[in-house]
A and B are shown apart, each in its own frame.
Chain A
């Protein structure tokens, strides 16, 4: 099976909807999606997928959705997300994704900013958030729900059950056959297909408008990139993909929706973020994308379980980990490929430990893994390379449809985000070192925010990413930091906090770190411990504790973190040393506003929330 051909002019622009239709014609009985329900993985074929898309698209038409109207989806990852997304694109509407963790206030902002007329709120939890703010959203006509539990009792005629919606669609489809196909035939390259809201570490989120052409470019460059996978070639319909990160984020859209629709691979929906590790083991995906947080979690769980193992197993695991370290370093020095020495060590340790270990973490059949969306500690990547997971760091952002740079098989450089995709425009600004891109994947602008859009582009039309980078060996790019995060100390020294933060976060005991010191004499840090690992450590040491806060305040824990800080300081110049630190007394959370929906630390919120700790470190301003 080959991927669908280039767009044919008679059928309108080759949107993702057209791609689904092509797959349904080409291989109607092949599996497109799997969802775990009642304990087993229920399968959807491409024909069923396309049939449901048509029903949903006609359903939207029956609800009066017109080209350019916004359809919001507030849901965990599930087949209905894919179906409604594709159906919306099919009738030239615009999909808006909301994070399942978005609290009601943010839901209100996103729905009113996008001016959505239809909302898909999967269950009672999300319906309740909408109900709380529904009075302020007059434009929103219909709310679809798919989990009837609790919702059926609500007396609100704007609520429509998903199955009823599909039934309406089927009726409409019988009466107006060919209507959706006609709209698909009118699709244009510059039609906006989706609004992807940026996480907004500073200020309110902005809706980045991505067009059909942007998506097509991302599929062409990232998904079908020939250099990506070791051994060459793009994913095939035999590949298994686990869909578990929020689909409203551009990364998961690229690596789930667009990968599946672009290559015919199978999407497997994880039950929830808590069951990812179990689902990984069941699915054993062949192509896997994860944010650094997930890689760190898997790494930490290996460490914890390793320490809890019986003596002989601990011995074997210890030796294997050392071997993995050697293999990892050899591979890193060799562009990601095995050297003779690494291959030999791998041949010894794979049957003994690595194979079982990979099976446990669900990477046994993984032929390509990647990380992106946030910086990752090189040590973690080295470990996974060592045990045999071919993991590569990528770089991109919402505004350029995630197309910027990537590490290729056999040519990776650890600590860099790789080389620009071939044939795209990517440059570093002469003065600031800011990375700028120009290619057909660059977005159409922010929704209803012309000034913000203007600010994002240079005068000659290049996208300003806001990330500072440097060239490594003239081919690879290393990200220094966000422009806005660079710290200038009282001594006038420019310091990139994220480099230090990432070094700190290499330790399995540290979950969050925020380095502070703008216009101060020395650097300090707010550090959040990882409850699982530190809790396990405390248990082993016989230190009793009750809550996260209690654990954070233990002398022994502070000493443990001090050690990590000291080790980190050794790797940096004197001005970059962290002189003092404080442990934050609570786990950071999206709902409390310290984290964005993508689990990035909101610096301003942190400074508000833990201002007293900062003052404590620097002493009262004299």
Chain B
């Protein structure tokens, strides 16, 4: 109720997505920021207008969709899955088959996006439903192993079904983002081309960014609504104790199945978007590492929360870029050799083969770690640290800050 945020006179109010005026305003401002960011006109965040940043952010949106799926399954329903990349792969190749160039060497039907994109969600969902019942039988570690098996089987099939995937050497191209009615030659709108809309020049990167943003917002709404509905509560009940949930009248079989189905749908959708966004993919793209990346996203972000998952996806994708930029910046200072910063930086960054340092920026093998290796180490370290110190992830940090002020001037 207005002015009395804790006075709920209906369940609609109680469960509304943005229950206070402040939250509505903040959500609107954040969305507005994302909408204008790629034009590079946000003060202090002008770099977001660079083409590579626009692309990076588009990838963040795609990964966020996939991570939201895993969050439903692992974060909300508590079913550990190492097989997320398998479903991304199925989504990607479903899209490729249906939307890929017809009459080429590889399978392809040349259907428009409104066919292949939904199909990329439906087909993995069906496979998820088939796999789901195993989760009713096995739990925890055993479920992790079962899903790990999926990735291995998946990778094998993808590698050897050369008619669909093109095999390990060449891979295959994926359908482009184009609005078409059917198989006509000129698309209604082509996200691969620069365009002019209402007198504005929109580059292909920016229009793709907008498309991905739209999908991500839709995915967030779907995930949030699942989470706050009866289904979401059933998932959480199963996560907290499946036996107790069943005693309370939650149909364990049905909801575990549903969790796998929904999660796979998100994953397949994200897989199709990712493959088409990159343009060409090889079967090895959908390996265990990709699955671990998704797990990292929900752990670092905060398992079980939508906003945490978004933060995690952004963090995991943006961190390598930031580390690279920082190292380059550091190396530049060290090479200039001036000031205290250069002296400190010299201790950590190796700029010549005989220099001592933790990181090197030299091409080829040198002393210390390359930037990519450093990123790998940082990831491992972050997952370990988050699990030990902040199991709720980035969202937990936010929660702690919020609770500090929520309790003001008391502690509880």
Contacts and interface: CB of A to CB of B under 8 A. Distances in A.
Interface string A336-373: 00000000000000000100110010000100000000
Contact of B408 (A41, A283, A313): A313
A284 B14 contact: no
Most chain B beta-carbon neighbours within 10 Å: one of A41, A42, A316, A360: A41
Nearest to A316: B409
Nearest to B8: A40
B409 A356 contact: yes
Contacts of A305: 410-412
A281 interface: yes
B244 to A, nearest CB: 20
Contacts of B13: 40
A579 B390 CA distance: 57
Interface residues of A, number: 25
B410 A308 contact: yes
Nearest to A38: B11
B192 to A, nearest CB: 51
B9 A353 contact: no
Interface in A572-599: none
B404 to A, nearest CB: 8
A75 B253 CA distance: 45
A41 B7 CA distance: 7
A365 B409 CA distance: 18
Most chain A beta-carbon neighbours within 10 Å: one of B408, B410, B411: B410
Contacts of B410: 305-306, 308-309, 313, 317, 360
B411 A282 contact: no
Given A40-B14, A284-B4, A365-B3, A357 B9 contact: no
B6 interface: yes
Nearest to B11: A40
B169 interface: no
A309 B7 contact: no
Contacts of A308: 410-412
A357 B7 contact: no
Nearest to A352: B409
Interface in A281-328: 281-284, 305-306, 308-310, 313, 316-317, 320
Most chain A beta-carbon neighbours within 10 Å: one of B10, B409, B410: B409
Nearest to B9: A41
B309 to A, nearest CB: 27
B7 A283 contact: yes
Contacts, number: 54
B196 to A, nearest CB: 50
Contacts of B6: 281-282
A320 B14 CA distance: 34
A276 to B, nearest CB: 14
Nearest to B405: A356
Interface in B12-63: 13-14
Given A40-B14, A282-B4, A283-B4, A34 B411 contact: no
A309 B411 contact: yes
Interface residues of B, number: 16
Contacts of A313: 407-411
A563 to B, nearest CB: 26
Contacts of A9: none
Contacts of B7: 41, 282-284
A310 B400 CA distance: 14
Nearest to A357: B409
Contacts of B9: 34, 40-43
A508 to B, nearest CB: 16
B409 A306 contact: yes
A336 to B, nearest CB: 25
A284 B7 CA distance: 9
Contacts of A356: 408-409
A319 to B, nearest CB: 10
Interface in B215-229: none
Nearest to B6: A282
Contacts of A430: none
Most chain A beta-carbon neighbours within 10 Å: one of B11, B14, B408, B412: B408
Contacts of B4: 240, 282-284, 365
A313 to B, nearest CB: 5
B409 A309 contact: yes
B14 A39 contact: yes
A305 B412 CA distance: 7
A357 B409 CA distance: 6
Interface string A269-285: 00000000000011110
A360 B3 CA distance: 14
A283 B7 CA distance: 6
Contacts of A284: 3-4, 7
A588 to B, nearest CB: 28
A310 B408 CA distance: 10
Contact of B10 (A40, A240, A309, A310): A40
Given A282-B4, A283-B7, A310 B14 contact: no
A80 to B, nearest CB: 19
Interface in B80-126: none
A22 B32 CA distance: 51
A34 B410 CA distance: 29
B8 to A, nearest CB: 5
B235 to A, nearest CB: 20
Contacts of B409: 306, 309, 313, 316-317, 320, 353, 356-357, 360
Contacts of A357: 409
B336 to A, nearest CB: 42
A310 B411 contact: yes
Nearest to A34: B9
A146 to B, nearest CB: 21
A281 B409 CA distance: 15
Interface in B295-325: none
B14 to A, nearest CB: 6
Contacts of A283: 4, 7
Nearest to A268: B7
B8 A41 contact: yes
Contacts of A320: 409
Contacts of A43: 9
Nearest to B4: A284
Q: Top 8 A-B pairs ranked by shortest CB distance?
A: A305-B410, A282-B6, A309-B411, A356-B408, A317-B409, A40-B8, A41-B9, A353-B409
16 contacts: A40-B11, A40-B14, A41-B8, A41-B9, A281-B6, A282-B4, A282-B7, A283-B4, A284-B3, A284-B7, A305-B410, A305-B411, A309-B409, A316-B409, A353-B409, A360-B409
Interface of A: 34, 39-43, 240, 281-284, 305-306, 308-310, 313, 316-317, 320, 353, 356-357, 360, 365
Given A40-B8, A356-B408, 5 more contacts: A34-B9, A40-B14, A308-B411, A310-B411, A356-B409
